[in-house]
Structure 1
């Protein structure tokens, strides 16, 4: 293992960078903001308005319904 010390240094530096990024996200409340945004997104996707828009924007809906009727 000729370069073992070099690999250990890279591993330690990488772990420190990752830990500092996680600490920054925890201290700034990043995870709380993401949780709120994701719950709002899921609530919107399940709303009747979003389903109506999804159906209106699907150009193949007629073809899909015809295929399911034939099967």
Structure 2
């Protein structure tokens, strides 16, 4: 337990840095912006346009499962 004091200091400083980062994100409205962006992203991903773009970009995605079913 030679370095217990050192580890306690590092733990306290790390906790303070983490708490200050969280406080900064709350005060600047970071979480509100991220929530809006994430909901827009999910709405886009579930739209028919996004699904057709996804299929067009990767036409071989279901190829392996079709081959296994036919074999």
TM surpasses 0.5: yes
Q: Which segment drifts farther, 4-13 or 55-64?
A: 55-64
Shift of the 3–51 alpha-carbon distance from structure 1 to 2, 3 Å rule, reads same
- How far off is 1:28 after superposition? 0.3
Aligned positions, number: 71
Q: Distance in 2 between matches of 1:11 and 1:57?
A: 47
- The match for 1:27 is 27
| RMSD of aligned alpha carbons | 1.8
Unaligned residue ranges in structure 1 (runs of 5+): none
Partner of 2:52, secondary structure, is helix
Unaligned residue ranges in structure 2 (runs of 5+): none
